[in-house]
Amino acid sequence: MDQGKFTVVMGLNQNFQKNNMDQGKFTVEMGLGQNFQKNNMDQGKFTVVMGLGQNFQKNNMDQGKFTVVMGLCQNFQKNNMDQGKFTVVMGLGQNFQKNNMDQGKFTVVMGLGQNFQKNNMDQGKFTVVMGLGQNFQKNNMDQGKFTVVMGLGQNFQKNNMDQGKFTVVMGLGQNFQKNNMDQGKFTVVMGLGQNFQKNNMDQGKFTVVMGILFIS
């Protein structure tokens, strides 16, 4: 993650060479499915693959499209990702209509909690919801703020997301201080591994850590 490069590594498969992350490429690998060729990540394309579902064709990622697929649900049509739309789908909940992703909106849905209304994603807001914790009020996502919440840890105060800061919290590890997210830094934390020092996130660097294996 040196020199401001945007790199995410989530449980690298065997024989994954770190050089996939050189040259400033934006690369995310989360448990590569069988026969996933590294060349999907060349040419500076922005590509995320998290456990490819059956019969997922690599051509979804061509033409510089920004595409994320995390375990495709049954009967998920690839056309949700056409026309250069930024679309992420991680295990669609029951009765999730594809129209949430039309009109070029940036929408991420990861296992919708009970009674989650689709209107959180209207009006072009950038909204991510991954298993809402108890008593999470929808107003954290109003006012066009960029907010991601993935299973809030105990005693996580909503004010981490105020002031238009770009903040992602995915199950805070023990003793994670909120000040990692101050000063408008772009910070993502997903279950910090042991001995992860906060200074990886200083100096305005764009840093993502999603447990298991950390490559510096």
With respect to residue 157, please indicate whether it lies within any of the assigned structural domains.
Answer: yes
Segment 102-128 shows an average pLDDT of 34
Give the list of residues 6+ apart from residue 79 with CB closer than 8 angstroms, or none: none
Spatial strand order of the sheet with 67-70 comes to 7-10, 27-30, 47-50, 67-70, 87-90, 107-110, 127-130, 147-150, 167-170, 187-190, 207-209
With respect to residue 214, please indicate whether it lies within any of the assigned structural domains.
Answer: no
With respect to residue 48, please indicate whether it lies within any of the assigned structural domains.
Answer: yes
> Under DSSP, is residue 89 helix (H, G, I), strand (E, B) or coil?
strand
Give residue 26's pLDDT band: very low, low, confident or very high (50, 70, 90): very low
Copy the structure tokens of residue 105.
């909106």
* Percent above pLDDT 70 for the chain: 0
* Cβ–Cβ under 8 Å, residues 38 and 49: no
Burial of 212 (0-12, 13-18, 19+ CB in 10 A): middle
Domain of 115 in residue numbering reads as 2-209
188 vs 4, more confident: 188
Instruction: Please identify which residue in the block is written with the tokens 């105060």.
Output: 157
With respect to residue 13, please indicate whether it lies within any of the assigned structural domains.
Answer: yes
Instruction: Tell which residue, 156, 80, 164, 71, has the closest CA to residue 111.
Output: 71
Give residue 107's pLDDT band: very low, low, confident or very high (50, 70, 90): very low
With respect to residue 138, please indicate whether it lies within any of the assigned structural domains.
Answer: yes
Segment 116-145 shows an average pLDDT of 34
With respect to residue 147, please indicate whether it lies within any of the assigned structural domains.
Answer: yes
Q: What pLDDT, on a 0 to 100 scale, did the predictor assign at position 50?
A: 34
With respect to residue 34, please indicate whether it lies within any of the assigned structural domains.
Answer: yes
Q: Determine the Cα–Cα distance for residues 1 and 143; give it in Å rounded to an integer.
A: 31
CA dihedral 174, 71, 188, 154 (to 10 degrees): -30
Give residue 44's pLDDT band: very low, low, confident or very high (50, 70, 90): very low
Give residue 40's pLDDT band: very low, low, confident or very high (50, 70, 90): very low
Run of H or E including 68: strand 67-70
> Under DSSP, is residue 49 helix (H, G, I), strand (E, B) or coil?
strand
List pLDDT tens digits, range 62-82: 333 333 333 322 223 333 333
Longest pairwise C-alpha distance within the chain? 44
The overall average pLDDT reported for the chain is: 33
Total of domains in the chain: 1
| pTM > 0.85: yes or no | no
With respect to residue 64, please indicate whether it lies within any of the assigned structural domains.
Answer: yes
Q: What pLDDT, on a 0 to 100 scale, did the predictor assign at position 157?
A: 36
* Cβ–Cβ under 8 Å, residues 29 and 20: yes
Segment 142-168 shows an average pLDDT of 34
